[in-house]
Amino acid sequence: MKVEGRVAVVTGGGGGIGGAIAAGLVERGARVVVADLDEHAAQRVVATLEEETPGSAVAVAADVSDDEHIRGLVERAEAEFGPVDLYFANAGVTGVPGLEIEDSVWEQSFDVNLRAHIRAARLLVPRWVERGEGYFVSTASAAGLLTQIGSATYSVTKHAAVGFAEWLSVTYGDKGVRVSCLCPMGVNTPLLYSGDASGHALGELATRAVTTAGAVLEPVDVAETVFAAMEEEHFLILPHPEVLEMYRNKGADYDRWLRGMRRYRQALEESTPTDS
């Protein structure tokens, strides 16, 4: 699919991957609603886009855990630019590391990392089926294909996001609805380093597990991979190609993979610097 002339919504668009996707969309001739919980961050992204291409983007403050906010995003896009062609469900939260996590934290993780995708699809997919086309891009994570050492909430909800994207494609892929699922490893955003700031040993371990597993990419490089995959209408978008080999190894011998992950976790724990 070509994005030129299309209308897009990008959640979590106030920076990082979302901001880079919004910029890439405008560069390619799309018009974009940039949504973020942080309204000022969304406005800064849009201000930059508008300097280059006036009339190309609008900023909206939105909490994607709220169904009415998602509906408001679509309505704003329709009012400003026309029917939504592309939806990037990119907003995400890392959650809290460990097992002893309050239910409210689990609920927030499910709301943002999974249910926000479901709510947007429930609103848009019937319209796309009627029109015969539309594109849903889910930002999951390599953690959704593999796992996330340290954070159960992140790992579980990202697995669920991959599963929902698969279901969408299977159910609506022959009705004009295209679906892609973005699964990067380390990307240079504040989200990657949130574990270090958590004050929790498992949070620090989560960050180190990602940063030592492969290259940490810049958001703009991830966005370029997204657009290349969309043009070919690939489902699985892997900015880190090595994730595919890891995923194959997991499926080929699950028990061996689990043993390897336990050894990796233990090695990370043993190499953790201690205060002197």
For 121-176, write each residue's pLDDT tens digit. 999 999 999 999 999 999 999 999 999 888 899 999 999 999 999 999 999 999 99
Buried b (16+ CB within 10 A) or exposed e, 137-148: bbbbbbbbbbbb
What is the rounded distance in angstroms from the CA atom of residue 211 to the CA atom of residue 49?
30
Each domain of the chain, given as residue ranges in start order, spans 7-241
Domain 7-241: CATH superfamily, name plus number? NAD(P)-binding Rossmann-like Domain (3.40.50.720)
What percent of the chain shows pLDDT beyond 70?
94
Q: Which of 70-84, 91-105, 134-148, 226-240 has the lowest mean pLDDT?
A: 91-105
pLDDT on residue 17: 97
Higher-confidence position of 145 and 101: 145
Higher-confidence position of 142 and 98: 142
Model pTM score: 0.93
For 225-241, write each residue's pLDDT tens digit. 999 999 999 999 999 99
Task: Find the catalytic residue in 87, 135, 154, 172.
Answer: 154
Nearest to 4, CA basis, from 28, 36, 39, 35: 28
On the question of pLDDT at 113 being above 70, the answer is yes
Confidence of residue 258 (pLDDT cuts 50, 70, 90): very high
pLDDT on residue 270: 82
Confidence of residue 118 (pLDDT cuts 50, 70, 90): very high
Higher-confidence position of 199 and 55: 55
What is the rounded distance in angstroms from the CA atom of residue 4 to the CA atom of residue 19?
18
On the question of pLDDT at 196 being above 80, the answer is no
For 19-52, write each residue's pLDDT tens digit. 999 999 999 999 999 999 999 999 999 999 999 9
What is the side-by-side order of every strand in the sheet holding 57-61?
57-61, 31-36, 7-10, 86-89, 134-139, 177-182, 236-237
pLDDT on residue 18: 97
pLDDT on residue 273: 58
Average pLDDT over residues 176-192: 91
Confidence of residue 276 (pLDDT cuts 50, 70, 90): very low
DSSP string, the chain: ---TT-EEEETTTTSHHHHHHHHHHHHTT-EEEEEESSHHHHHHHHHHHHHHSTTSEEEEE--TTSHHHHHHHHHHHHHHTSS--EEEE--------BS---HHHHHHHHIIIIIHHHHHHHHHHHHHHHHT-EEEEEE--GGGTS--SSBHHHHHHHHHHHHHHHHHHHHHGGGTEEEEEE--S-BSSTTTTTTTTTT-HHHHHHHHHHHTTS--B-HHHHHHHHHHHHHHT-SEE-SSTHHHHHHHHHHH-HHHHHHHHHHHHHHHHHTS----
135 a catalytic residue: no
Contact 62, 13 (CB under 8 A): no
User: What does DSSP say about strands 236-237 and 177-182: parallel, antiparallel, or unpaired?
Assistant: parallel
On the question of pLDDT at 209 being above 90, the answer is no
Mean predicted lDDT score pLDDT of the chain: 92
pLDDT on residue 275: 46
